[in-house]
């Protein structure tokens, strides 16, 4: 948006400034022409992302991290994946931003300015893990349509905001409330203002948790535009699609919210296991709630080479939706035997946990290090793929890296 404004009133000198070189035949350039170097938006600059991020789609923007970019305990903005279902809202005016709470199950509809939310309610800060329901989709066979996420559609940032519960208590909620649904300011790809790119939500029990926030800060600063500035609902441990960016309205529903991407096969998996490729009727699909146990080796990068006789220090993160991770193990023999990793407690509920281990290799050659987390109910990650599902959700297979000992 900044770019477009700039181009309207641009002069040769200003083009040259951005390109970083004089446009030698600039006077011959047709008027109104935008140099090629500036026609392609640079998504890494536009969104302040690490240039090793991988762009999966540009309309809408979708970009994922690579495992080694997620090494920090709290994910910095430059490594946070972008998942947009529509176009980023234009011309956001945070000073006049409002949030309306409405729906069948509010006693009375109420609207707050962003300033009121900030001044009236207590602020809370939590580290919260957000993973796209489709993270890992690229491995399913038969393949599923949609962004082909590998491992990088997950992050744990620190969010600051007010509790959704505190706001709902101020509004007054009826006893028949079952679900909340969000409505946001992003623009449908068709640019039809009557259509919403996405409008999801969660049961009231999730709305009422301490950690469910109406957030206005990420990692101590204003939320970056592409991640939901100036207001976002954050529901850690659930598919990140529940955490609506550019939040304008929350509806308290007396039915399961039926907004865009709540119905049909969106963010749903077969209620009972199905054979790969099988057609599943909509009524046999269940809404994804808490995300399954999973982990990621963030150091070293896959492909690392190590001198014989040295120990390899590995590290990464593990998370388990609403649950805690109870145990973290690694294997260097394709899962035949497992050794325990050191595992830290979460900083707070719904934050990912950090693990590390010192790995010994018996001789020179090729190895794979596989990492496996087990949640507090005793459920572990599958070594390879979990059950196939039509939309390719919930692939929580063990993360694996290749290591060569020379």
Ligand X SMILES: Nc1nc2c(c(=O)[nH]1)N[C@H]1C(S)=C(S)[C@@H](COP(=O)(O)O)O[C@H]1N2
Size of the site for Mo ion (CB under 5 A): 3
The smaller minimum CB distance to Mo ion, of residues 128 and 132, is found at 132
- Per DSSP, the three-state class of 377 is coil
Binding-residue pattern over the window 94 to 133 for Mo ion, x denoting contact by CB under 5 A = --------------------------------------x-
The smaller minimum CB distance to ligand X, of residues 34 and 94, is found at 94
Position with the least CB separation from Mo ion: 132
**How many angstroms separate the CA atoms of 247 and 362, rounded?**
54
The smaller minimum CB distance to ligand X, of residues 164 and 314, is found at 164
> Which among 354, 290, 287, 288 is positioned nearest to 321, based on CA atoms?
290
Check binding of 80 to Mo ion (CB under 5 A): no
Give 150's DSSP letter. Answer: -
- Residue pair 374/327 in contact by the 8 Å Cβ criterion: yes
Q: Write down the least CB distance from residue 240 to ligand X, Å.
A: 3
Check binding of 241 to Mo ion (CB under 5 A): yes
Check binding of 56 to Mo ion (CB under 5 A): no
**End-to-end Cα distance, the chain:** 51
Angle CA(336)–CA(337)–CA(339) in degrees, nearest 5?
150
Check binding of 135 to Mo ion (CB under 5 A): no
Binds 395, which of ligand X, Mo ion, none (CB < 5 to 8 A, cut-off by type)?
A: none
The binding site for ligand X (CB under 6 A) comprises 80-86, 132, 184, 186, 197-198, 227, 240-241, 243-246
Tokens of 287: 């809404």
The smaller minimum CB distance to Mo ion, of residues 240 and 252, is found at 240
Q: Write down the least CB distance from residue 267 to Mo ion, Å.
A: 8
**How many angstroms separate the CA atoms of 333 and 281, rounded?**
40
Binds 137, which of Mo ion, ligand X, none (CB < 5 to 8 A, cut-off by type)?
A: none
- Residue pair 69/153 in contact by the 8 Å Cβ criterion: no
**How many angstroms separate the CA atoms of 201 and 239, rounded?**
10
Q: Write down the least CB distance from residue 173 to ligand X, Å.
A: 23
């Amino acid at each position: 948006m900044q770019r477009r404004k700039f181009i309207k009133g641009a002069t040769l000198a200003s083009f040259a400034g951005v390109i970083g070189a004089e446009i030698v035949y600039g006077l011959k350039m047709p008027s109104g022409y935008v140099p090629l170097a500036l026609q392609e938006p640079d998504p890494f600059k536009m969104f302040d992302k690490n240039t090793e991020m991988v762009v999966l789609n540009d309309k809408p923007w979708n970009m994922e991290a690579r495992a080694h970019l997620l090494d920090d305990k709290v994910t910095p903005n430059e490594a946070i994946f972008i998942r947009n279902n529509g176009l980023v809202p234009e011309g956001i005016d945070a000073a006049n931003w409002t949030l309306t709470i409405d729906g069948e199950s509010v006693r009375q509809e109420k609207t707050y300015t962003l300033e009121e939310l900030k001044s009236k309610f207590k602020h809370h800060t939590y580290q919260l893990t957000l993973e796209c329901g489709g993270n890992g989709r690229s491995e399913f066979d038969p393949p599923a349509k949609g962004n082909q996420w590998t491992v990088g559609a997950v992050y744990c940032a620190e969010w600051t905001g007010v509790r959704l519960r505190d706001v709902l208590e101020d509004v007054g909620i009826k006893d028949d409330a079952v679900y909340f649904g969000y409505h946001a300011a992003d623009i449908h790809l068709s640019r039809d203002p009557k259509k919403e790119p996405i409008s999801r939500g969660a049961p009231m029990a999730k709305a009422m948790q301490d950690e469910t926030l109406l957030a206005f800060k990420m990692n101590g600063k204003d939320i970056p535009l592409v991640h939901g500035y100036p207001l976002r609902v954050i529901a850690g441990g659930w598919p990140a699609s529940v955490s609506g960016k550019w939040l304008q309205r929350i509806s308290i529903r007396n039915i399961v919210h039926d907004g865009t991407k709540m119905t049909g096969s969106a963010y749903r998996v077969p209620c009972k296991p199905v054979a790969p490729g099988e057609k599943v009727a909509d009524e046999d699909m269940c809404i994804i709630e808490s995300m399954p146990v999973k982990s990621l080796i963030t150091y070293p990068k896959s492909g690392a080479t190590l001198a014989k006789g040295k120990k390899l220090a590995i590290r990464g993160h593990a998370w388990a939706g609403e649950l805690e991770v109870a145990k973290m193990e690694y294997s260097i023999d394709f899962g035949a035997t497992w050794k325990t990793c050191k595992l830290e407690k979460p900083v707070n509920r719904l934050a990912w946990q950090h693990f590390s281990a010192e790995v010994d290799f018996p001789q020179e050659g090729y190895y794979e290090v596989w990492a496996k987390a087990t949640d507090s109910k005793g459920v572990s990650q599958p070594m390879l793929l979990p059950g196939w599902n039509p939309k390719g959700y919930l692939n929580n297979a063990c993360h694996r890296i290749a290591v060569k000992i020379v």
